[in-house]
Chain A
Amino acid sequence: MTEASFESFLERSLRLLEAEAPSAEATLRRRLGPSLLALFVDGESLVLSSVAGRLVARASTQSAPARLLTSRAALRELLSGRLTLLDAVLSDAVELTGSLDELLRLDDCLHLYLHGAVRCASFPALLREFLGTGREVSVS
């Protein structure tokens, strides 16, 4: 199974949230507001933003007030419960950069995204495709 790009995964997952967890998607969009989040996974750089009432993820090297840098390997560890988010940050498996307010916004957005993901019945298949595990990663 070939791995999907992070951009493709994130963009498709946002459409899933719209369709299957609209309440979480709307709350995430409100919390993000006009701000931007920069996300780096295995060298791919994206910016998450809210455009015309819709969350969009686009490949970009644009700077953002908060940024998160990680890898597929770290995501696998986090999603399988072998690593907590705190341990991931303390071990630099996940790097966070930004002011305290922006990091709190990023933390809220991350949790809202996860709350939406675990309410989407179609999410496990999408995640499996992205992580390339060949086996279902249970997120719901």
Chain B
Amino acid sequence: MTLGLSSASRAFVSRMVGSSVHLRGAPAVWDEPRAGHKEWLHFTIHGPGVDIVVNFSLSSGGGAGDVRQGRVGCLIHREGFQGDIDSCAPHLLRARTGESCVQMGQSSVVFRDGGFDLTVHLEREPIALQLRLEPETAPAQINNFEIEGGPALNWLVVPRLVASGWVTLGAQQLELERAPAYHDHNWGGFRWGANFSWEWGYALPAETNAWSCVFARLSDRSRFSDLMTGLFVWKGSMQHRVFSGDELSVTHHGLFHGRRPLRLPRVMGLLAESRPADVPARFEVRARRHTDWLDLTFDVTDVAQVVIPNDDDLGLTIINECCGNFAWQGELAGERIAFQGRSIFEFLSD
């Protein structure tokens, strides 16, 4: 998959991404981060018959035993999800505010020469990968998502990249060549368990096609009140249109009933033993503005759960990582859009 960018356009996109991907860590360096600061770099990749999630996460606790922590998570979906989350020992963690590099033991992400170099070696699972991700689109940054009773969440998204390299799963080795990929970067001082929830996903074409989009909805925890909803559309390398507020309607169809999900970290399966109860079988976003319209549907085919202890109570926040098939169609300024492919959406639940 490629947009066929000129070398000048590619250099421009790389500069824009390169100038914005650094660690925030606010306000001090990661060696002395502000208590309660959280930050993560999230990547997804879709190769032939394989969906991949990689997440480098940093947090500074903020509790009685405040220490900085680093975790690298990797989920790979073929016939089912495999993966793990490794906690990185503090002496093996290298991450500094202002730099575009995170090292966690044998795993790392580095932005250099206009692209991301991802390396993952999981400790307890026979999973490793080495991928080069090159941005095809300019980033969008949305600061200060207000969350009730807590500091804001900030979000930078690069919706479309191409990934090349290798992935090993036990004895299997998969080669990827310019596979569609997605990246976002989140940071802030928010508290897990605070009054927020999100639904988020994206649509990337699997063939030469100018269009890509990201949907994000941040709401209160009960999902009765939206704090922010947006469908962000890119044409070529640049952001082209944003639908928001009353221009959007979101519908959940049915409930996903699948096998018992992989839960990570694995020990959290002891605290979150029930099956996913809050994941729709089909998720639909409809955008309307004058004669412009877009319909994005996503059918969930499998779920893995990342289970996070709440910061200020003994509850849990569950990030449902849902892989599935999307279909996107519509018309913008008389131009037809219609394509489908694989994606990974997230739905938060308790």
B84 x A138 contact (CB < 8 A)? yes
Determine the distance from Cα of A38 to Cα of B267 in the docked complex, in whole angstroms: 23
With A114-B271, A118-B268, A118-B271 known to touch, is A138 a contact of B64 (CB < 8 Å)?
A: no
A119 x B268 contact (CB < 8 A)? no
Select which of B61, B87, B89, B273 is within 8 A of A84 by beta carbon: B273
Residues B115-131 near A (CB distance < 8 A): 123-124
B interface, how many residues as a size bin?
20 to 34
A interface, how many residues as a size bin?
20 to 34
Residue B265 is within 8 A (CB to CB) of chain A in the complex: yes
B309 x A119 contact (CB < 8 A)? yes
Determine the distance from Cα of A81 to Cα of B65 in the docked complex, in whole angstroms: 26
- In the complex, per-residue mask of B167-187: 1 if CB is within 8 Å of any chain A CB, else 0: 000000000000000000000
A81 x B263 contact (CB < 8 A)? yes
With A19-B64, A112-B314, A138-B266 known to touch, is A85 a contact of B69 (CB < 8 Å)?
A: no
Which chain B positions have C-beta within 8 A of A135?
123-124
Which chain A positions have C-beta within 8 A of B64?
19-22
Which one, A2-10, A62-70, A120-128, is touching chain B?
A120-128
Most buried by A among B63, B267, B313, B314: B267
A119 x B63 contact (CB < 8 A)? yes
With A81-B267, A139-B265, A139-B267 known to touch, is A20 a contact of B63 (CB < 8 Å)?
A: yes
Residue A55 is within 8 A (CB to CB) of chain B in the complex: no
Which chain A positions have C-beta within 8 A of B61?
121
Q: Which residue of B lies closest to A124 (CB)?
A: B87
Determine the distance from Cα of A118 to Cα of B270 in the docked complex, in whole angstroms: 11
With A85-B273, A121-B61 known to touch, is A137 a contact of B267 (CB < 8 Å)?
A: yes
A20 x B267 contact (CB < 8 A)? no
Q: Which residue of A lies closest to B308 (CB)?
A: A118
B86 x A115 contact (CB < 8 A)? no
B270 x A140 contact (CB < 8 A)? no
Which chain A positions have C-beta within 8 A of B89?
136
B273 x A114 contact (CB < 8 A)? no
Residues A68-91 near B (CB distance < 8 A): 78-82, 84-86
Residue B67 is within 8 A (CB to CB) of chain A in the complex: yes
Which chain A positions have C-beta within 8 A of B63?
20-21, 119
With A20-B64, A20-B65, A138-B84 known to touch, is A118 a contact of B267 (CB < 8 Å)?
A: yes
Determine the distance from Cα of A115 to Cα of B61 in the docked complex, in whole angstroms: 15
Which chain A positions have C-beta within 8 A of B273?
84-86
Residue B85 is within 8 A (CB to CB) of chain A in the complex: yes
A-B pairs with beta carbons under 8 Å apart, 28 shown: A16-B65, A20-B63, A22-B64, A27-B314, A78-B267, A79-B270, A80-B266, A81-B266, A85-B270, A85-B273, A114-B270, A114-B271, A115-B271, A117-B267, A118-B265, A119-B309, A121-B67, A135-B123, A135-B124, A136-B87, A136-B123, A138-B84, A138-B85, A138-B86, A138-B124, A138-B265, A139-B267, A140-B265
- Inter-chain pairs besides A118-B271, A138-B265, 14 sampled, C-beta below 8 Å: A19-B65, A20-B64, A21-B63, A79-B267, A79-B270, A81-B266, A82-B266, A85-B270, A118-B267, A118-B309, A119-B309, A121-B61, A138-B86, A140-B69
Interface residues of A (CB under 8 A from B): 16, 19-24, 27, 78-82, 84-86, 111-112, 114-115, 117-122, 124, 135-140
